[in-house]
Amino acid sequence: MKLIQIKWLMLGFAAVLLLSGCGAKRQASQLLNHKNLLNAIATGNAGPEEKLDALVGSFTGMMHEGLRIANPKKGVNYVTQFGNDNTQAIEKILGEVGDWQKGLSGIEKATLALRMAQKPYAKEVFELIPKFQRKYKQISFVGKMTKKLKSRLMGSVGLDNLGGKLLEKIGGNE
């Protein structure tokens, strides 16, 4: 009887090791995908709005991945690694987007804010950012990047309140 219990215990231990190894491999693959995408976008010839879309898509994916990690230490390591790998590319993209937005007229800024509010990711990113900031507030990268991302999506066009109201209407939260 003891031999069977020991075999089950060893099998359970092997399964835990295998699953944790798969999780680490998946996270490493996700980080590499984010890095490759953001570097390609930062150095590519896409327009500023397309670059912002790609950045927000990658950042949203990383936030989902970070929120799914149950172990706080592993989550912090994951988000910190994302920041270390991608800060330069993100800063370059946000710089280009900021320069582009500064050159827009008032009507163009309003039109941009409306387009941003209608993007498929708009409601999702504004719902994810507070959750993500609460979980990872100790990481300085998170505070800086979420603030910059929010400002590029709505703040820099001077329509924070309108953008928030548009997102509420689009999402049906009245």
- Which pLDDT tens digits describe the chain residue by residue (174 residues)? 566 666 676 666 666 555 555 667 888 888 888 888 889 999 988 898 898 888 888 888 888 888 888 888 888 888 888 888 888 998 899 889 888 888 888 888 888 888 888 888 888 887 888 888 888 777 767 777 777 777 666 654 444 444 444 444 444 443
pTM of the model: 0.70
In whole angstroms, how large is the CA radius of gyration of the chain? 20
Residue 110 CA to residue 88 CA, distance in Å, equals: 29
Q: Which residues contact 48 (CB under 8 A, 6 or more apart)?
A: 96, 97, 100, 101
DSSP conformational letter for 71: S
Tell me if 31 sits within 8 A of 81, measured CB to CB: yes
Q: Distance (Å, rounded) from C-alpha 150 to C-alpha 86?
A: 18
